[in-house]
Amino acid sequence: MILETHNSNLYFDGCDTIELAKEYGTPLFVMSETAIVDKCQELKKDFLSQYENTRVAYAAKAFLTTALCKILEREGFCIDVVSGGELYTCISAGFPSEKIEFNGNNKSEEEISMAIDYQVGRIIVDNPADYQVIQRIAREKQKKARILFRITPEIKIDTHAHISTGQKDSKFGVPLNDSIFYPLIQAAIESEYIEFLGFHFHLGSQIFDNQPYINATIKTLDLIEEVRKRYNYTIQELNVGGGFGIRYTEGDSPKPYSYFLEPVMKLIYEFFDSRDLKRPSVVIEPGRSFIGESGITLYTIGNIKEIPDVRTYVSVDGGMTDNIRPALYDAVYEGAIANKMNLERHKNVTICGKCCESGDILIKNLCVPNVERGDILTVFNTGAYCFSMSSNYNKNRLPAVVLTKEGKARLIVKRQSYQDLIERELV
C-alpha cells in the first residue's frame, strides 16, 4: 500500500508526508521507488516475459532524473529521449547508450551529432527533413545510424487535442502519402549510412481504449506488406509508442497493459507467422502509465479567500510552475489535506497557485475539511509531466524531489536556490 493514514497524517510509501514537508520544504515532489519497481514488475509480467524480443523504452519526457536512470538500468529497461538534455542526463547517469532511443520532430544537428557520437540504440526519424539531416551527419561521421520511421497512422483518439498525436493533421510522423512515404523508405534501404529497422507510431496520451492501437497496428502491417512487395525488404522492429491511460480521478478507468498489447501482439504474430517471416522486435514507450501514479506533490497552504456565494480560493505555495497540466489542457487531479486525513470533508474549495495568472488553478473543486493556513495539501498522481514541465515563471524556484522506499526518503533533486535563478545572467 503506497497510501495510508496514521494519526490523521497521510503516509506515502511508509513516509509521513507531514514530516517530509517539514524536512524538505514545499512544494515538494515525492516519488516512490517502491511503486516504480512495482511498475517494472507489472511490465515484465504483462509484456516482457510474455513475448520474446520485446523492450520497454520508458518515455523520459514524463519525468527524468539521474536516480531514475539508475533504477531503470538496474531493471533492464530502455529509455526514450527527445532532446539533447534528456540524452545528456541519461549518459551522465551512466545509462548504456545502446539502450537509448531518440525521438523528436525537430532534432537539431547538435542533438543528432550527440546521438550518433554516443551511438544510441535507435534514432526515430520523424519526418523527411529529419531523415535528410540524420543521413547527412551519419555520412559525415562515416557511421551507420540505426533508425525507425515514425509514421502518422491517421488515427483519431478520444483524448484532449493537445495530447493527441496520431491524427493526419499532426506535427509528428511521416505522412503516408505515397509520394512522400515510399521515396523515403527507398532512400533508407539504399543508404550506406542508415540501417532501416522498422516503424514507430505513437497515438497520443491518456488512452483507455485498445481499438486505436489495433487500427494503427493493422495500418502499419499494411505498410510493411507494401514495403515487402515494392522493395523485397522486411522490417525487423515495430514500436507502438505509449499513451496508456492512468487514474487521475474516479471517472478514469485504466486498463492493464495486456488489454492494449495482447491484441496488438496477436496481429503482429499472425502477420509474420502466416508469411513465414522472422517475428520483429516489439517496443513500447510508456511514460505516464509508468511513472504517473508513483508520485505526489506536497504544498503548504497559504492565504484563503472566501467570496461569499461564489467560491473559496485556497492558495498554495506552488501552482502552474510545478503542474502546468490543469492550465494547459484542463487536467483534473484529486487531492487531500495531508495532516487532516481523518477529519470529515464538508466544504468545496478551489485550489489555486501563487502565479500571476488567473488560469493558475490546480484543482477547481476539492472537498476538504476545515482548512487553515499552514496545512499541507497533497495532490495525487503527479509523477508524470509535472516536474518535467516545471518552469521558473515569476522566478519561482523549481521544487525539490525526494525518492521514498518503504519508510525511507532521500533527496534526489535539490530545490533551486535564489542564486540558481540568476546564475546564468550577465550584466
Ligand X SMILES: Cc1ncc(COP(=O)(O)O)c(C=O)c1O
Report if residue 107 touches ligand X, rule: CB under 6 A: no
Give the H/E segment covering residue 270: helix 257-274
Q: Which residues are annotated as a binding site?
A: 243, 285-288, 325, 329, 357, 385
User: Contact region for ligand X (CB under 6 A) — 219-227, 258-266, 287-295, 403-411?
Assistant: 287-295
CA angle 257, 10, 3 (to 5 degrees): 20
Minimum distance between the CB of residue 242 and ligand X, rounded to whole angstroms? 3
- Taking the least distance from each CB to ligand X, the nearer of 17 and 294 is 294
Is 386 within 8 Å of 408 (Cβ atoms)? Answer: no
Query: Per-residue string for binding with ligand X, 212-241, x by CB under 6 A?
Result: -----------------------------x
Stretch that binds ligand X, among 56-64, 152-160, 230-238, 338-346 (CB under 6 A): 56-64
User: The C-alpha cell of 242 is what?
Assistant: 505509449
Residue of 15, 31, 43, 59 that binds ligand X (CB under 6 A)? 59
| Nearest to ligand X of 193, 380 (CB atom) | 380
Write out the binding residues for substrate. Answer: 288, 325, 329, 357, 385
Q: Based on the residue annotation, tell me whether 90 is a catalytic residue of this protein.
A: no
Given a contact cutoff of 8 angstroms between Cβ atoms, the answer to whether 352 and 315 are in contact is yes
Q: Which residues are annotated as a binding site for pyridoxal 5'-phosphate?
A: 243, 285-288, 385
Candidate ranges 19-27, 218-226, 280-288, 395-403; the one touching ligand X (CB under 6 A): 280-288
Nearer to ligand X, 13 or 285 (CB): 285
Q: Is 285 in the site for ligand X (CB under 6 A)?
A: yes
The contacts of residue 136 (CB under 8 Å, 6+ apart) are none
Tell me the sheet residues that pair with 348.
Answer: 367
Residues linked to residue 148 through DSSP beta bridges, in sequence order: 124, 198
Please state the closest distance from residue 244 (CB atom) to ligand X, in A: 6
- Three-point CA angle 141, 147, 151, nearest 5°: 135
| Residue among 291, 292, 286 nearest 57 (CA) | 286
Number of amino acids touching ligand X (CB under 6 A): 16
> In 142-256, which residue ranges form alpha helices assigned H by DSSP?
178-190, 211-231
Which of 26, 152, 205, 300 contacts ligand X by CB under 6 A?
Answer: 205
- In the complex, the smallest distance separating the C-beta of residue 148 from ligand X, rounded to whole angstroms, is 11
Distances (CA, A) of 97 to 94, 130, 283: 8, 21, 17
All cell numbers assigned to 118: 554516443
Q: Which member of 89, 127, 289, 315 binds ligand X (CB under 6 A)?
A: 289
Residue 243 sits in the site that holds ligand X (CB under 6 A): yes
Q: Which one of the listed residues 90, 356, 367, 386 is annotated catalytic? A: 356
Residue reference for cell 512544494: 27
Which residue from 153, 280, 286, 295 is in contact with ligand X, where contact means CB under 6 A?
286
> Counting Cβ atoms within 10 Å, is residue 361 exposed (0-12), middle (13-18) or buried (19+)?
middle
Pick 289 or 350: Cβ nearer ligand X: 289
Q: Which three cell numbers stand for residue 215?
A: 487500427
Instruction: Report how far residue 314's alpha carbon sits from residue 361's, in angstroms, rounded to the nearest whole number.
Output: 10
In this structure, the dihedral spanned by the alpha carbons of residues 152, 217, 121 and 179, taken in order and rounded to 10 degrees, is -40
Residue 216 beta carbon to ligand X: minimum distance, rounded to whole angstroms? 13
Q: Pick the piece of the chain touching ligand X (CB under 6 A) from 45-53, 135-143, 219-227, 282-290.
A: 282-290
Rounded to whole angstroms, the Cα distance separating 40 from 75 reads 7
**C-alpha span between 372 and 374 (Å, rounded):** 6
Catalytically active residues, by annotation: 356
Interacting residue ranges for ligand X, rule: CB under 6 A: 59, 61-62, 80, 103, 202, 205, 241-244, 285-289
